[in-house]
Amino acid sequence: MKRIYNISKKKMEYVKGEAYFYQVEERLKNYPYLNKDFQTDILIIGGGIVGAITNYYLSQKYDVALIDKSRFGSGCTSCATVLLEYQLDDFAENLLSVMSEDEISQVYRMGQESIIEIDRFIKKHGNYCHFSLRSSLLFTNKLFGVKAIENEYLFRKERGFKAKLIYPENNSFPFKFKAGLYCPDGGAEFNPYLFTKQMIENSRNQDKLFENTEIQSISKTEYGYIATTNFHDKIYCRKIIFATGYNFELLENAKLCDRAISYTIVTNPLKNLSLPEQTLIQDDEVPYHYMRVLPDKRIIFGGEDSKFNKKSIDDSLAEKKYKKLKNTLCKMLPNYSE
């Protein structure tokens, strides 16, 4: 779901419809639905970004099929804000109760390597998804947040990550904060829908990709599993990978974890925008906010996460969250106009 609004407080226009990133002009390949019984070694259920990446790599070595109940990439993947960052939602010092310092550092490195691997993929197959490497800024407006930012800076510096501290005296960003942690190689951005499609179109198993086919039930056999589709066809496989995102129906009874929901708004293109396009920006509020500038000078602004264990979206809560996002953005950048 997308919301577009003018950043000036007087004029506000909400648009409800398809996800922002799903609306592309490029002509992309569509895939057929499955209409017969079928056999594969590995079945991946869900062709969002997670299923697409898994399918791309596994199809280089294994007999694998990818199936989605809708169009590939049209789920949560197209709703994301797409700040691809190596840093996590929590500061290193808050993770120490569950991980060692070395493990946290290793997670950061793995995040960096993932971004490098995406860069490698783009160099090999071409940049058809607006991919760019980006810096990142994590900032605080709270007095007690300054120490946390400084500790995070020290943690990264001591482990060889590139990082710089920013205070009000050396802040060149067009909004105020008490302290910020700037990382020149902090992340990347792309259009997640186009990237997902590119991953799928470059996979080796072009004859085993099916859209508009829902897996409705799964049963275990002596040799593996049988997944049954909404057309009552059966897929016989040895292993199943669930990449169904927020669509938990198949796993619902297992009650494995809590779900969370996040919200995003997109502005109209802004004329006098001096926000640096090359930086992915995030604050330390609870719940936090994050933003970046899109290629056509819109700001995409997200956050306000909350627990979500319901079956469907609570529209009135969503409206409140969108308004809160808008007010927070207007407060940060009061002077922008279309």
Ligand X SMILES: Cc1cc2nc3c(=O)[nH]c(=O)nc-3n(C[C@H](O)[C@H](O)[C@H](O)COP(=O)(O)OP(=O)(O)OC[C@H]3O[C@@H](n4cnc5c(N)ncnc54)[C@H](O)[C@@H]3O)c2cc1C
Token reading at 24: 């592309």
Does residue 83 bind ligand X (CB under 6 A)? yes
Q: Using the minimum distance from each CB to ligand X, give the nearer residue, 145 or 192.
A: 192
Q: What's the rounded Cα separation, in Å, for the pair 326 and 4?
A: 10
Stretch that binds ligand X, among 105-113, 167-175, 237-245, 323-331 (CB under 6 A): 237-245
Q: Using the minimum distance from each CB to ligand X, give the nearer residue, 104 or 188.
A: 188
Selected from 243, 266, 299, 332, the binder of ligand X by CB under 6 A is 243
Selected from 19, 50, 183, 332, the binder of ligand X by CB under 6 A is 50
**How many residues belong to the site for ligand X (CB under 6 A)?**
34
Selected from 38, 161, 263, 336, the binder of ligand X by CB under 6 A is 263
Q: Using the minimum distance from each CB to ligand X, give the nearer residue, 154 or 218.
A: 218
Q: What's the rounded Cα separation, in Å, for the pair 225 and 305?
A: 36
Token reading at 136: 């990142």
Selected from 7, 66, 79, 199, the binder of ligand X by CB under 6 A is 79
Q: Using the minimum distance from each CB to ligand X, give the nearer residue, 149 or 281.
A: 281
| CA distance to 81, 156, 215, per residue, from 262 (Å) | 10, 27, 26
Stretch that binds ligand X, among 36-44, 157-165, 167-175, 260-268 (CB under 6 A): 260-268
Q: How far is the CB of 114 from ligand X (least distance, A)?
A: 10
Strand partners, 227: 218, 235
Query: Which residue, among 92, 73, 256, has the nearest Cα to 163 in the 3D structure?
Result: 92
20 secondary structure, DSSP code? G
- ω before 168 within 30° of 0 (cis)? no
Other beta carbons within 10 angstroms of residue 217's beta carbon come to: 9
Selected from 7, 80, 92, 209, the binder of ligand X by CB under 6 A is 80
Other beta carbons within 10 angstroms of residue 271's beta carbon come to: 9
Q: Are 115 and 187 in contact (CB under 8 A)?
A: yes
> Angle, to 10 degrees, between the axis of helix 101-125 and the axis of helix 192-201?
70
Does residue 1 bind ligand X (CB under 6 A)? no
Site string for ligand X, 290-329 (x = CB under 6 A): x-----------x---------------------------
Catalog residues that contact ligand X under the rule CB under 6 A: 45-51, 67-70, 74-77, 79-84, 214-215, 243-247, 250, 262-264, 290, 302
